[in-house]
Structure 1
Amino acid sequence: MTDALPDGVERRRFDGAERLATRGEPVYGEPTDREWRAWNPDRSKLGAMLELGMDVDLAGGDDETVLYLGAASGTTVSHVADFAGPTYAVEFAARPARDLLSAAESRPRLFPLLADARKPETYAHVVEADVDAVVQDVATRGQARVALENRRFLADDGRLLLAVKARSEDVTRDPEDVFADVREELAEGYEILEEERLEPHHADHLGIVARPLGE
């Protein structure tokens, strides 16, 4: 566990409370203080991982490239694009993608892609090779398989930052059983470095930090 934050992410006070924050235009009604905007861990799995002290190994800076799977309306990926370099945001649903496009208007390093994270071949011609991090938050069955299919984009020393939603896999099973299956499948292509349940911010979610195994 660590409290090391990426460059461009700070703990600042909003309304008397210390919060994670990035510099950028507000996106979802979050509190602001001049150029800083609060990062709400209750609305962001990656934000929760940082709040809980997980070592996500994001350096921040213009040279860091990120592939974000499951960008939705841009709540989290907008924060990522505030502190990272080129950030490719994959979202399949057209309605949240419209909000994602709006979030990208003030962020020249954010590149929205209307595509299915389960079919990386549909955006492989756009996403540069050897990205530093794949951040995944997709509410679908087969979350481990999505991570494995997108491993092709990761640099050898890159990181997978995965939020596993147990109820998206099987609402009838115990979440710990679901997480065990995800761990087993991920082992086909990743070494898990750290994991932690994301409560109290997100019920029945597991945050995972992993690195790709060598070929």
Structure 2
Amino acid sequence: GRKVTVEPHRHEGVFICRGKEDALVTKNMVVGDSVYGEKRISVEEGELKIEYRAWNPFRSKLAAAILGGVDQIHIKPGAKVMYLGAASGTTVSHVSDIVGPEGLVYAVEFSHRSGRDLLNVAKKRTNIIPIIEDARHPHKYRMLVGMVDVIFADVAQPDQTRIVALNAHNFLKNGGHFVISIKANCIDSTAPPEVVFASEVKKMSAENMKPQEQLTLEPYERDHAVVVGIYSYRKN
């Protein structure tokens, strides 16, 4: 077979595996371990064998945004990330790979069923701090969480922007960033998606969250958009 090569993506900590078909990959923090049945690829770099994990954009909004050409994800090696709507930890595991041993992922998930899977992922990945709580009540986990550089949110709730804002006011540093995945029909199934996205962006602006970029997730997800921006407030 053809020799597989892996090269860095322009987003630090993300890679592209060049083979018969190109694939988005992250460097596996727990070598020999797949989290959700994803393919692992070993590449020899000099004396070292480095293992990468395939990152499927049909199963991850963040991967879809990266392949869709998002300009910035702000999630990079050493970053402290709060992940709202962590579910079973599929995307969280790739964020854990990206931020690496120097970074942290505070993974918040309300569902106890998904939470069980998330706890298992976190057992092997020491940089994931699983929090099985409702993201609407950040005061319940304020003792567990330090200030973060980035909030990533995929909570698919009608009041998602308010939920992100509450967490930003508590944990996001001034000048930190947010990446929000918006599913239009979760917020308003009667309005056209573009109208829903515009209305959410307006809500963000009212919370010191300044959107800098918006893109849809076609062809991976229908009627989804990702909004990336900066959180900044004037210090009195």
Range of TM-score over shorter length: over 0.9
Greater Cα offset, 148-157 or 84-93? 148-157
SS of 2:113's equivalent in the other structure is helix
On the 8 A contact 1:49/1:56 being kept in 2, the answer is: no
Letter in 2 for 1:147: V
On the 8 A contact 2:180/2:228 being kept in 1, the answer is: yes
Counterparts of 1:167-206 in structure 2, within 5 Å, are 167-188=185-206, 189-206=208-225
Percent identity, aligned pairs only, is 40
1:49 to 65, 82, 90: 65
1:177: how far off?
A: 1.6
Q: Does 1:137 align with 2:154?
A: yes
How many residue pairs are counted as aligned between the two chains? 209
Partners of 2:18 and 2:120 in 1: CA distance:
27
Partners of 1:55 and 1:65 in 2: CA distance:
20
Partners of 2:53 and 2:130 in 1: CA distance:
21
What TM-score, normalized to structure 1? Answer: 0.92
1:99 is aligned to 117
Q: Does 1:17 align with 2:35?
A: no
Greater Cα offset, 148-157 or 93-102? 148-157
Partners of 2:160 and 2:94 in 1: CA distance:
23
Q: Deviations over 1:173-210 (max 9, x none)?
A: 21112112101100112111111011111111111111
Structure label with greater radius of gyration: 2
**What's the RMSD between the two structures over aligned residues?**
1.4
2:41 is aligned to 33
Partners of 1:57 and 1:31 in 2: CA distance:
23
Assess, with a 3 A threshold, how the Cα gap between structure 1 residues 184 and 96 changes in structure 2: closer, same or farther: same
On the 8 A contact 1:196/1:207 being kept in 2, the answer is: yes
1:60: how far off?
A: 2.1
1:87 is aligned to 105
Q: Deviations over 1:36-63 (max 9, x none)?
A: 11011111111111111212243522x3
Any gaps of 5 or more consecutive residues in structure 1?
none
Q: Which has the higher contact order (CA 8 A, sep 6+)?
A: 1
Partners of 1:97 and 1:132 in 2: CA distance:
24
